Each structure stands twice: as C-alpha cells, then as structure tokens.
Structure 1
Amino acid sequence: MVTETNSRADAANPGRAMPLSEQPSAWRRMRLWGAAHAVDDLYQGLVPACVPYFVLERHYSYVAAGGLTLAATLGSSIPQPFIGVAVDRYRSDWLAGAGVTLAGIGLGLSGLMDSYVAVWLLLCASGLGVAMFHPAAGKSARVAAGESATAMSIFAAGGSVGFFLAPVLATPALIAMGVGATALFIPPAVLMGFLLHRNRLQRPATRGLSRSGRDQWAPFLLLTCIETVRSVAFFGAITFIELFWIRHLGAGKSLAGAALACFLVGGVVGTLLGGRIADRVGMVRTVQFGAIVAIPALVGLRLTPGEYPPLLFAVLAGIALNIPFAVLVKLGQDYLPTRPGTAAGVTLGLAVSIGGLLAPALGVAAEHWGPEGVFTIICLIPLVALVLGVFLNEPAK
C-alpha cells in the first residue's frame, strides 16, 4: 500500500526528490548522459586532433589552422545562450539527439572537402550541433544527478572522455588515410542520436522539473569568466600541444598524438576527481584549488626538456585544468536554479567555446614565437582564474 501511494505521488510530482536509500547509483543514473556527452565532445576533440594534419597535408598556415578551431567554436558559441533559454521555456529535449547527430556529420564530412571554405563551414555546422546538445543534455543530466557533484562529474567526465578518445582513435586513421579519415566518425553520432531519441520517448518530460529559488546573476557572471579563462588555457593546449611536440621537442607524429592523449586522459581524471573533492570541501574551494595546481603543472610542461619526460606534466596539466570543470557546471545551475538549461548552455557551451574563439590569437603568437611561445602564454592564464576565484561565493540555499 505504501509503495502504491509513493508511485502515485511520483506520477503526480515527477520532480519529487527520491530518498537516498531508493536512488540508483550515480553511475546508473548518469551512464546514458555520460556516454552521450562523450560522443558529442568526441567531435569537438577531433577538431584539434585533425588540425595538424590539415596543416601538414593541405599546407595551411598557423592562422588558418586556428581558424578551423574558430569555425567549430563559433558555431557552438553564438547560438548557445538562445538554445538554453528555449530549453528552459519549452520541451526541447529532442535537441540533444539532433545536436550530436549534426556534430558528427559536419565533422565527418569536413575531411572530404578540398576547399578551405567548405571545411570551415562544415566545422561550423558541427559546432552548431554541439550548441544544440549541451543545454538540453545539461538540464536532463542535472535532473538525473540531483545534488550530487560526483554524479554530475560523470556527465562532465563524459565530455573529457570524448576529447581523450579523439586523438586515440583519429591519429592512427589520419596517419594511414589522411584527413579523409574523418568520414569514419559519422556512424557513432547517428547511433547516439537514435538512442537519445528513444530515451526521450520513454521518459517523462523534464520541462516542469526546474527548481525554484532566486537566480544570482552577479556570481554566475563571475563564474562564467572563470570558465572562460579555463577554456582558453584548455583549448590553447589541445590545439598546439601536438605541434609543440613535433616542432619544438622534435618528436614524431605518433608521440605528438600520445602527448595530446596524455593531456586529455588527465582531463578525465581531473573531472571525476573534482566532483569528489567538491562533495567533501565545497564547490568554491575546488574551483580555487584547480587554479592553484594548474600553474606548476603547466610550467613543468613548458620547461621540461626531452621528448618523453614532459608527458608526465601533460597528464598533470590535464588533471589540474579539469578539476573545476564539473563543479563549474553544477555551480552555475545552483546560481540560476530556475534556468538550468541556460546555465548549462553558458558553462558547458558559451564559456567553453570562447576559448576556441581565441585560438586564432594564439595562432598569431605561434607564428611569431612558435608553439613554445603559446605554452608560455598558457602558463600565465590560471593566475587570472585564481584572482577571480577569490571573489566567488557559495550559492544561496
């Protein structure tokens, strides 16, 4: 009788919090959204993984190479806030499946085109797919995660896994087949789009599951600035780390791809670690801690000589830069409790994408000082995040 009563209450109020003893594990709640985030961000990670091969095979300049990163991030950054608002106002959860499909098709076709303009436009379309995915998926994932930063870190870590898998899967294919190998990555996007569509039909609508509370715009804007600073360092590293190994350290292409993979696997570890730290010491302290440890990790990466010893610092830098990632996403939704889609769109999309928008500026630095000059600049960026983090406060309950 009690079970029947609870079932009726759940049906009448799908946003009712389930007792902790009845909740599935964090992994069971988040595995689909973590996997979807991995597939979606695979295509973001494929852009910097492919850029060196466009440079070497198509003879693009450093500025043109940075422009390819710009195309993908431009497509994702501008529409992101508007899509977030639509997700909060309407039942737009279908955007998650459609977005990941578009992201994969755009990226997959880019390597088949000879024209730089065509490549640029396809990567921009791929970025638009990413913009469609993040707000809808971020809102649904937060509903599944509840108040657990650890659970939310599984969703966020999915994106880091996607970035990690990109060079691991792409480097052998690109070496063997050239940039036309991007077409091999279309099927995962289509499959995940289908799975998300089926899941959408099987679960109740999430439109009414937004929490109540007072939106705190001032700390949210400060948080957005911190995420933007973090993304500049992150995108700068993944765009130029392979060229740093090839043209500064004198390594081969395979080892350069391994360096990018080391950095990104560190990102997976850092994202999961950040969620656990936040559940113990608080979200704001975790954000500050990430900025502190990023500085020595990046300096070690820039200054350590040889082809192999810097790989250790590539892992450590990836961990440090990603410790705040999941925390920033959850913290943003706590600052805007009535607008979880908008918050996810900004923290997962707009603020992250701005880092890619600045890639051409780092490309200009690389033209003058080489890839090593870019990493010298990146070493200074966490100082800005550290200063901003001092003024961050815990969200009002």
Structure 2
Amino acid sequence: MKATVQKYIREFKNELIELSNYIHANPEFGHEEFKSCKAHKDILSKYGFEIEDNYLDMQTAFKAVYNSNKKGPTIAYLAEYDALPGIGHGCGHNILGTTSTGSGIVLSKLIDELGGKVIVFGTPAEETNGAKVDMANNGAFDEVDIVLMAHPADEYYKSGKSLAMEAIEFTFKGKTAHAASEPEEGINALDAAINTFNNINALREHIKYDSRIHGIIKEGGKAANIVPDLAIAQFYVRATTKTYLTKLVEKVKNCARGASLAAGTELEITNYEASYDNLVTNNILNNLFEEKIKDMGIKNIFEPKEGFGSIDAGNVSHVCPTIHPYFSISPRKVVGHTVEFAKAAVSTYAYEQMCKTIGALVLVAVDIIKDKQLLADIKNEFVNAHK
C-alpha cells in the first residue's frame, strides 16, 4: 500500500506545489480567503469531490466529499488557508491546507476499493475567529469518525495539547467632563479599564501556573483634558481545560465588575472572537501517525512541545477523535509567525516533507478503514477521555 500511496503522491505533487505557491503569493486574512478557497475547491472538484460552497453560511468555507459508496468509516482532513497581517503566510497555512487537500485526493484514489468516505473541510480564519468552532457547534463533525491534519513547524512533533481560550471584551461607559476645570462632573471610563488590569495582576498570584491572561486597552480616551467617557479592554484568557477556563473567566469578569463599580461606569461584557476548547489528542491515533511518518522515512518525531497557544482544532477534538501533529518545513530552526517561517513554507525542503506527511496521513486512514477493531479502540479512547 505504501508504494501505491507514494505513486499517487508523485502524480499529484506538481499540482499541489502550484496550489501552495499560489496561496502563498496571494495571502488573505480570515473570512476573506476567496482566492485560496476557490483554488482548493477547483483541484478537489477536478478529482471527483462534490463541493458544498458557502458551508454553514461562511463564504470562504467548504465541504468537499468523495464517497466510495461502500460501507466504511468517514475520514476528514482539515484545510486552513488564512494569512497573517504584515507577514503573509508566517504560519504556513498555504502548505498546511495543501497537505490536507493532497491527503484527501490521494485517499480518494484508494477508497473505491477499500470503502468509506473522505471529506476535506475548508476551514477559514484559524488565526482569528476560527471557523472550526462554528463547524463543531453546528454538527459538521457529528458523522465523522476520524479527523486528521498536520501543521508546519521546524521539526516533526507528535500531537499534543493546546489551551482552551476565551476572548473577552470589556466596554466601560462613563461621562465626559473638563479634566481640569470640572473633573468632579466626569465619570472616568479609563480608570475602570486601568483598574481592571490592576485587579487581574493581583489575581495572577492565585491562578494555575499554566494559565494565561493577557490583554490590551483598545480605546481609552481622545484628549488629555477630557475625562474619557469610553474605554475598551480586550483580553485572552487561557487554561489547560475548558472546565478551569470557565472558572477563571468568571474571576476575570469579576475583576472588571469591581473596577467598573469603583469608577461608577456602566459595563458591557462580550466575546470579540470565538472561544477555543483545549485540544484533546487521541493517543492511539497519535501513535499510529508516528508509525506511519517513520515508514515514510522520517527518523525522529519528537514528543509534543509544551505549548501555551490555542487552536480551533481543539473544538473538533471534543466531537470526534482528532490529532494535530507537526511536520518540518526547514532543516534549521524557524519560528512561527515570522517572515522567515513564511519563506520556509514554499521551500523545496518543505515540499519534500509535505509529500512524506501526506503519505503518513493517508496510510493512517487506510489502516483505520481496513481494521475495524483499531477504529473501535480509537473511539473507546475518545469516549473515556471525555467522561
């Protein structure tokens, strides 16, 4: 089977590189990825996938399905393709999305014989308002057996953890006044915002060490001689589990409530971006990917890095068994969200590793389709992990 998979990868390699290069040359922000989305849909349609446009009313999302019409599991690959302001594809989503689409196409050439169904989901805006959150909440993965994807990095790493995250916005409304002649007539919204930060800084002593709270003052007044009547503060609150995140978010909200009460302002609390669940990696699936990437010639795949970021694939992992490993795109260390990483994401080395990663992701799917007990074990682990 490995030789057959490699044959198909060689057959599609040039087209996949063209896809990745095109997306890299046309970076688009979240929910604005019209060119990138179309490019993915075009190649998937070419190879027999049925495309559902504007998936879940998101203009740059899609669902591409290839059905063997034989009984078997449903395997899904997740394609990302949004870019970053200023540095384009500094997270390498051009090659990430291509790896997922390429895996879907190669697997589609095998399942007419093996059985099952393959889906490639186009998932916009991972960097900001992750579409996978809405997809998970609206049933996109309810009938999916396994979800696979792999993210570019400086080395090969097994799938690990990510932090659950909530994006909270505090809007404080006060009253303007002349800051020098009649300050007593004003209600200072900026005071409330600043004291929110002070309250949160005091809270830090009493939160778990691996949690994170970080924020900015988005708006804090127009002129020094006018008491600010409006201040807006935005925070990311992160924790290792969704359960603890809920408790921590309430404490952060109380920090703002207390500050608002002290300053005499009105307070509005909203979410300015989607909230991300923590990633729960399926270990059986993870170990299977390690086995297959080594079969493709990779000698070392490292244990997961301790990460403090958040990804919308976390929400998917609470619906069905999921892995989110990493593959190397540079023979030397490169840091994500940099110009150097963006350059590496279209290198010859990166595309060699992309092909090996596609091979591993396809071989994982093949084993799951062929081995009913393996699939049952993966699902049992998923159930036990979410008790």
Shared fold (TM-score greater than 0.5)?
no
Compute the TM-score of the two structures, normalised by the length of structure 2. 0.26
Compute the TM-score of the two structures, normalised by the length of structure 1. 0.25
Q: If you compute each CA radius of gyration, which structure gives the higher value, 1 or 2?
A: 2
Q: Which has the higher helix share?
A: 1
> Structure with the greater relative contact order (CA < 8 A, sep ≥ 6): 1 or 2?
1
Q: Which has the higher strand share?
A: 2
